[in-house]
Structure 1
Amino acid sequence: MKKIISTVVLIFLSTSFVEASTLIHPPIPLESPTTEKVAIVILEEEKSEQDIHQLLRKIPSLQLRQIYKYALNGFSVKGKAKDIEELKKLVSHSIVSPVNTYHVHAEESIKMIGGQEVRGYFDHKNERLTGKGVTVGVIDTGIDYNHPDLRKNYGGGFDFVDEDRDPMETKPEQGTSTLHGTHVAGIIGANGKVQGVAPDATIIAYRALGPGGSGTTEQVIAAIEQAIKDKVDILNLSLGNNVNGPDLPISMALNKAVEQGITAVTSSGNSGPNNWTVGSPGTASKAISVGASTPKLQIPFLEVDGSRLRLELLQGSVDWDLTKSHEVIFAGIGSKQELKNASGKIVLIERGDLSFTEKGRNAFEAGAAGAIIYNNTKGTFFGNLDANVTIPVTSLSKADGEKLKKKIASEKVFARTFLIEEKDIIADFSSRGPVTSTWEIKPDVVAPGVAINSTVPGGYLSLQGTSMAAPHVAGACALLKQAHPDWGPEQIKAALMNTAKPLVNRKGELYRTYEQGAGRIQMEKAIKTSTLVMPSSLQFGKFQLADRMHEHSGFITVENISNQSQKYSFSLPSAEKGISWHLPLSFYLEQGEKKRIEIKLSVDPTLFTKKVYDGTLDLHTGSEEIKLPYLYVLEEPDYPRVMGFSFGKGDTHETYRYEVYLPGGAEEFGIAMFDIDSLRFIGFLDWRRNIGKGQILEEIKKEKLPLPGLYKIKVFAKKAGKEDSLESYLHISQNGQIDLTTTLKENEIKTKM
């Protein structure tokens, strides 16, 4: 049956934060007390199942959905808004959080990690490390456990979407099919044609994300709960949302899993390259949050009159192998009519109206040598082809695309293409920190996450994303656990961070700590390290301008795990105006000895010139140098006041639901609509005053939406004199009874933008 186009589609045109327009605010709208919601209650004090049932008898209209004993001390309920508000009063000092939606985050083979052969690692006894005897739980879309490369490793699991013991990937007849979990599992432990990082590890599959790769907070927490019961050694979550906050239930549940002895690994998100974009559960303090770096890649560049333009191959594209000069022509949006003169040429195509695959296929059929699709919004993009196109198809930033288009309009343009080898560059899509509120450094490390070949149902596929980087680290954790069975999560995390390689960008400048954490993991060094420093990064918190010459302290434990005495000494960080470090003198540790050390930081905030300060403290011992990332902030840093906005179908046919995250709360918050042509203010979908920090989840009745058409909307939040906004376009079709989606294929809306 042909799929009908959605009634309401949101197209995000900018991930940057801009000043909102001056708006005239209407009276604050009141929420209907009968609106149904799902919420998770995290109890301050532990209660038995009997206590929870007794508590809910006071509000009999609330439906108990889940009780959590291991991942969280709490439960989830469904009921009317007024009843959930009443429940908040009964559990006044506990946390009542709305249920969120989580999604998956997706030639160098995974046989390489950090430049070393995966199966070439040996422990101190010279025994090969393969992950044997280590159990790795994978919370994802399920696993194709019949895949020949995964059959040996599969150790069972559970499906929290269908509530059975069959965690198979979603098949086409069940909805939008998935492959993500199988790809992740292959990176960790495939053992066949493809070799994973830990090919002898046992993989336990927890299907928490259903059709299309999405699932709820309840499902993911239930999976974490089961993993704790199953006592897995390592737990991988290549999933998340774009909410940069430490206090969402899944982040809290992951911290609990680590306290139970599980090494938790999670992807940081694919919302980069801006700062403050790392999302939950990549914000979990005790988990290992992983960003994506590039393995060794051949990057195509286009040279026009001495200027070099970097091209990004779309996933699924054939390699760019054009060596001679070609004429470059502009071909509009890539329609067949616009490509009639493309034979033998490179075509420049504007993004929009047609899917990437349609543009590429039209270019191929017209005889083009290659296709370059430039973005129609700020920055570059990373796209996918969903069918074979036998010419290379690449992406280009909006600025470079428009510059090239302008040149083509004025003269005939010929371009030479060439390849430059790149390695150890952080992928543009990789989310950056820091974490709001706690000011923690996330991600903790980075690992290869671009062009990663692995298993999928029915075969193999190359994908990219922090989803691919996290299982590299999960596999590495399995090898470390095999080499050091007595190590817990803190020691494993320390070994990876203490020995990581700090990376530099294309300009040769060191990445900031909140972009790469400690750097790209180096497995061999992690296995053979002689020292562990815990914690492996330091947060000195927030300084106020009123705190003249205030002093903050951080504590680390240094442990000598070598078989001999070792001398340790610190070197001072680069001098910063208004900052004074107090580091210990050199000291010795005997074999197996550990020492707790205080590191003091004195500051005069009145001399600060920035909002965020970061760097590394260097600890020297023998031939090793351990770099400890640190971070501190001044007053309220310049983080976005609004983030994580999404719009989707409500629980009833006549409603829609929106979600948004306010990291620091807001004095004013609104979702405003404007006419697309005149930018005349139409009205608000919602507007409020004095909201606390955290997630907002609200339903909007269908009648509140304007007449069919295309509208500009602005989601804004104002606090402490600063106002940020997210801009989108809201398209309302005239198709009547049709489905709703929060995603958009480029050929679904034909309106010219």
Structure 2
Amino acid sequence: MRRVMICMLVVILCSGFRSPELNEEVTIIVEIEESVDDFVNHIQSRIPRLEVVAQYNTIFNGAAIKGTVGELEKLARLDTVVQQYPVKTYRTMINDAPSFSTDMLRQRYDLPFTGKGVKVGVIDTGIDYTHPDLAGAYRGGFDMVDFDEDPMETQGEGETMHGTHVAGVIAANGKMKGIAPEAELYAYRALGPGGVGSSVQVIAAIEEAVEDGVDVINLSLGNDVNGPDWPTSHAVNKAIELGTTVVVAAGNSGPQPWTVGSPATSTNAITVGASSMEGEVPLLTIPGERKQVPVTVLLGSLPWELNKKYPIMMAGKGLDELDHARGKIALFERGEISFTEKAIKAYQAGAAAVIIYNNEEGIFQGALEEKLPIPVASVSKEDGEWLKSEAVEAQQWVNTIHQSTDEGIALFSSRGPVTTSWEVKPDLVAPGVNIFSTVPGGYQPLQGTSMAAPHVAGVVALMLEAHPDWTPEEVKASLLSSADVMPVQKHMYDPTEQGSGLVDISESIHPELVIESGALEFGRVKDEFFRKQLPIKVKNTTNEQMEIHFERPATESGVSWRLPSTISLAPGESKEERVELQLSKAFIKDGVHQGYVKLESGGETYHLPYLYLKEDASYEKITGFELNQNPDREKSISYRFHLTEKVEKVTVDLYRAGTMLFQGQLVEIDQPEPGLVEGKITKPSFDMDGPYIAVVNVTISNEKESYTFPVHFSE
């Protein structure tokens, strides 16, 4: 040990280290084997000139001791001292000039606009309007949680940072520069402690923002209702009808299809998915194994910057206390307790990092409710079980490597299409992975479509500064027409993954060709021989003649396209043509069919998304189920859910959670219409206090599909 320490000292001296004098006071941390209290009592009686600065007995067994170098040297002679460490100065893990995605985009596009004079409403968890980068932009707002005019982020228990992060991406103007640094920010706190709120609060916030005359609303929130007929979606559509442009995050339930939720399912909203910028992603490797496991850092966690090999230990679901976790990576299974509770248990047990693997297929993205000094990440169920087998059970240590990545679609980004309307969503994508932005007290990286949406809301502010007379429809058409489709390997991402592509700021502000009609959405194919025409409306915004040529999509069996040969447009002229799709149902496969119709003009290529689906496509028929006891004298119960299509019958059965004892049938509806289904029933006579499972049965063509939803009643 002494030989190693001498070698280290030589390296330090060669690096310019200054050795302290014997009578100079310094502070060191010592790691000890015995009881900390006994050790402290011993040195206080034997070496009284030393000062005990701090004692550690939870995550580290030792103490911080202050004294002269000569006196501290006496500690080295004590047998109970395992190791001693110099005290270092620690700073937050952010560079003096962190790399903000907004800076990178502004530099890439050399933007002449700043969003000056444009009002942007942020409907979220509130805003820390005292943050030095946001104070100058903040103009006011309202709190729908506490019903006052102070939309500050939740502080203390259940504290939040989400809205402040979103606001920074839009309009920070200080150390960080947002996309539109001179825009005016209005905050509407619709989500309270823990970032949770109701449809009532969100709708009230939308109404308040419209009444305040904001030009743009950002909604980085949503639910799992994959259908357009939901109150929040209707509220968004009404706001747009009244002249407010609304930008909505698509959701973080990808990469599965049919996962975009309300209000991102709104037909007229600008729905934004998340892309990743060029950078690095952490991967876990095991010596001798070719597999590499990508880790997704949870929102609110430190970056995954482990720089050496670590052993992994199984921690189950976190219900039991952790033993022998010091210096290891704790591998948890998702479920039973929150991500934060798992992480705190691991941290208190001395773990170096936490990995939580999914309890169902695919990946997931979570968030921490508290800040911890160790990284916390998620992996898929498959990868978690592989780590359990090949690392834990095989007693292998894992290493972290970092792989360079190109721009792409984030795995967590929710995918379309939308049931009932069969529309392409998201509309476009923007950066949403590891986005540095403002948070109360500083800056922090977060990721999600919540971070992608404000990039686009900021772009909309720039567009409205340049074109104050543009309507929400014109803003959306310009954004989608100018977006750049993103390739993946040898093909492009599908429209239900990226919509029209990655936002292009410069071309959004000054488009040459605007496709005003939007995506070609042909809907469901039910007839044996399907034929449908859709309008395609284009506008030349330049001062020169424009010729538009169409490229037919790749030939498929049973599919025939009729496209305009050429469209000639004079300067400033708009024209409408028809696109026809003919299908022979017997020759096309089940499911969603999608791609792009290419338009070429003046050497530029434009990609217009199209989508149709055969009626046997697989998606959930029931989403957003709610069952609530009403506070009325009749003691009634309200139900509400979204039905994706016309069915023969819907029934709702109630079972006791745990025992699954059948309690009775609550609802039976014959021939319900698709869309929002709601009603009221008389409360059953039995005691309903406690947790239940509602089983919603759907009968289609004499076949039954069942969906389960947890519910809880309080007497």
2 CA distance for matches of 1:586 and 1:423? 35
AA in 2 matched with 1:431 = S
- Residue 526 (structure 1) aligned with residue 508 (structure 2): yes
Identify the residue that residue 181 of structure 1 maps to in structure 2. 163
Identify the residue that residue 118 of structure 1 maps to in structure 2. 106
Q: Structure 1 122/421 Cα, relative in aligned 2: closer, same or farther at 3 Å?
A: closer
AA in 2 matched with 1:563 = N
CA apart distance, 1:202 = 1.4
- Residue 151 (structure 1) aligned with residue 151 (structure 2): no
Q: What is the percent sequence identity of the aligned residues?
A: 42
2 CA distance for matches of 1:661 and 1:119? 44
Q: Structure 1 412/508 Cα, relative in aligned 2: closer, same or farther at 3 Å?
A: farther
- Residue 664 (structure 1) aligned with residue 645 (structure 2): yes
Q: Which residue of the other structure, out of 470, 485, 489, is the alignment partner of 1:487?
A: 470
Q: Which residue of the other structure, out of 404, 425, 429, is the alignment partner of 2:408?
A: 425
Q: Residues 141-184 of structure 1: CA distance to partner in whole angstroms, max 9, x if unpaired?
A: 433333322222223334455555x14136458x9554433332
AA in 1 matched with 2:238 = K
Q: Which residue of the other structure, out of 244, 254, 275, is the alignment partner of 2:236?
A: 254
Whether contact under 8 Å (1:119, 1:129) holds in the other structure is no
Work out which structure has the larger RCO, using CA pairs closer than 8 Å and 6 or more positions apart in sequence: 1
Q: Structure 1 155/177 Cα, relative in aligned 2: closer, same or farther at 3 Å?
A: same
Identify the residue that residue 699 of structure 2 maps to in structure 1. 718
Whether contact under 8 Å (1:294, 1:427) holds in the other structure is yes
Q: Structure 1 675/647 Cα, relative in aligned 2: closer, same or farther at 3 Å?
A: closer
Identify the residue that residue 444 of structure 1 maps to in structure 2. 427
Q: Which residue of the other structure, out of 594, 599, 610, is the alignment partner of 2:590?
A: 610
- Residue 196 (structure 1) aligned with residue 184 (structure 2): no
AA in 1 matched with 2:385 = E
Identify the residue that residue 327 of structure 1 maps to in structure 2. 311
Whether contact under 8 Å (2:180, 2:459) holds in the other structure is yes
- Residue 133 (structure 1) aligned with residue 117 (structure 2): yes
Q: Which residue of the other structure, out of 270, 281, 287, is the alignment partner of 1:299?
A: 281
Identify the residue that residue 548 of structure 2 maps to in structure 1. 568
Identify the residue that residue 439 of structure 2 maps to in structure 1. 456
Q: Structure 1 689/358 Cα, relative in aligned 2: closer, same or farther at 3 Å?
A: closer
Q: Which residue of the other structure, out of 449, 455, 461, is the alignment partner of 1:466?
A: 449
Q: Structure 1 301/487 Cα, relative in aligned 2: closer, same or farther at 3 Å?
A: same
Over the aligned positions, Cα root-mean-square deviation in angstroms equals 3.3
Q: Residues 519-562 of structure 1: CA distance to partner in whole angstroms, max 9, x if unpaired?
A: 2212133234311111231112333234x2x4211112211112
CA apart distance, 1:573 = 0.7
CA apart distance, 1:596 = 1.4
Of residues 323-332 and 283-292 in structure 1, the stretch that sits farther from structure 2 once superposed is: 323-332
Whether contact under 8 Å (1:545, 1:634) holds in the other structure is no
2 CA distance for matches of 1:358 and 1:588? 63
Q: Residues 106-149 of structure 1: CA distance to partner in whole angstroms, max 9, x if unpaired?
A: x8968325x943266456xxxx2111122222333433333322
Secondary structure of residue in 1 paired with 2:668: strand
Q: Which residue of the other structure, out of 258, 269, 286, is the alignment partner of 2:268?
A: 286
TM-score (norm 2): 0.77
Q: Which residue of the other structure, out of 289, 300, 303, is the alignment partner of 1:316?
A: 300
1 CA distance for matches of 2:693 and 2:188? 40
2 CA distance for matches of 1:727 and 1:424? 38
Q: Structure 1 577/722 Cα, relative in aligned 2: closer, same or farther at 3 Å?
A: farther
1 CA distance for matches of 2:498 and 2:600? 21
1 CA distance for matches of 2:270 and 2:193? 27
1 CA distance for matches of 2:131 and 2:270? 28
- Residue 237 (structure 1) aligned with residue 219 (structure 2): yes
Secondary structure of residue in 2 paired with 1:414: coil
- Residue 414 (structure 1) aligned with residue 412 (structure 2): no
TM-score (norm 1): 0.74
Q: Which residue of the other structure, out of 546, 552, 563, is the alignment partner of 2:532?
A: 552
2 CA distance for matches of 1:227 and 1:388? 32
2 CA distance for matches of 1:193 and 1:157? 24
Equivalences, count: 615
Q: Residues 704-725 of structure 1: CA distance to partner in whole angstroms, max 9, x if unpaired?
A: 46687x8765443332345443
AA in 1 matched with 2:594 = D
1 CA distance for matches of 2:712 and 2:145? 31
- Residue 374 (structure 1) aligned with residue 357 (structure 2): yes
2 CA distance for matches of 1:306 and 1:353? 33
Q: Structure 1 724/428 Cα, relative in aligned 2: closer, same or farther at 3 Å?
A: farther
Q: Structure 1 394/141 Cα, relative in aligned 2: closer, same or farther at 3 Å?
A: closer
AA in 1 matched with 2:117 = G
Q: Residues 375-422 of structure 1: CA distance to partner in whole angstroms, max 9, x if unpaired?
A: 233333222333343333222222222233234575332333211233
CA apart distance, 1:187 = 1.6
- Residue 389 (structure 1) aligned with residue 369 (structure 2): no
Q: Which residue of the other structure, out of 623, 636, 640, is the alignment partner of 1:643?
A: 623
CA apart distance, 1:317 = 2.7
Identify the residue that residue 692 of structure 1 maps to in structure 2. 673
1 CA distance for matches of 2:506 and 2:386? 45
Of residues 462-471 and 358-367 in structure 1, the stretch that sits farther from structure 2 once superposed is: 358-367
1 CA distance for matches of 2:702 and 2:303? 50
CA apart distance, 1:613 = 1.5
Secondary structure of residue in 2 paired with 1:413: coil
Q: Structure 1 671/331 Cα, relative in aligned 2: closer, same or farther at 3 Å?
A: same
Whether contact under 8 Å (1:650, 1:699) holds in the other structure is no
CA apart distance, 1:371 = 2.7
Q: Residues 336-379 of structure 1: CA distance to partner in whole angstroms, max 9, x if unpaired?
A: 75431x44443323334444334334434444443322223333
Secondary structure of residue in 1 paired with 2:408: coil
AA in 1 matched with 2:343 = G
Of residues 351-360 and 133-142 in structure 1, the stretch that sits farther from structure 2 once superposed is: 351-360
AA in 1 matched with 2:276 = T
Whether contact under 8 Å (1:336, 1:366) holds in the other structure is no
Identify the residue that residue 384 of structure 2 maps to in structure 1. 401
Whether contact under 8 Å (1:169, 1:178) holds in the other structure is no
2 CA distance for matches of 1:430 and 1:523? 21
AA in 1 matched with 2:301 = S
AA in 2 matched with 1:111 = F
Q: Residues 498-517 of structure 1: CA distance to partner in whole angstroms, max 9, x if unpaired?
A: 22222345x66533212221
**Whose Rg is larger?**
2
AA in 1 matched with 2:551 = S
Whether contact under 8 Å (2:101, 2:436) holds in the other structure is no
Secondary structure of residue in 1 paired with 2:571: coil
2 CA distance for matches of 1:179 and 1:150? 13
Q: Structure 1 267/200 Cα, relative in aligned 2: closer, same or farther at 3 Å?
A: same
Whether contact under 8 Å (1:170, 1:178) holds in the other structure is yes
Identify the residue that residue 594 of structure 1 maps to in structure 2. 574
CA apart distance, 1:479 = 1.0
Q: Which residue of the other structure, out of 347, 362, 374, is the alignment partner of 2:330?
A: 347
Whether contact under 8 Å (2:100, 2:436) holds in the other structure is no
Show the 5 A alignment for 1:45-64.
none
AA in 2 matched with 1:319 = P
Identify the residue that residue 36 of structure 2 maps to in structure 1. none
Secondary structure of residue in 2 paired with 1:117: helix
Secondary structure of residue in 1 paired with 2:397: strand
1 CA distance for matches of 2:614 and 2:223? 27
AA in 1 matched with 2:507 = K
Whether contact under 8 Å (2:117, 2:184) holds in the other structure is yes
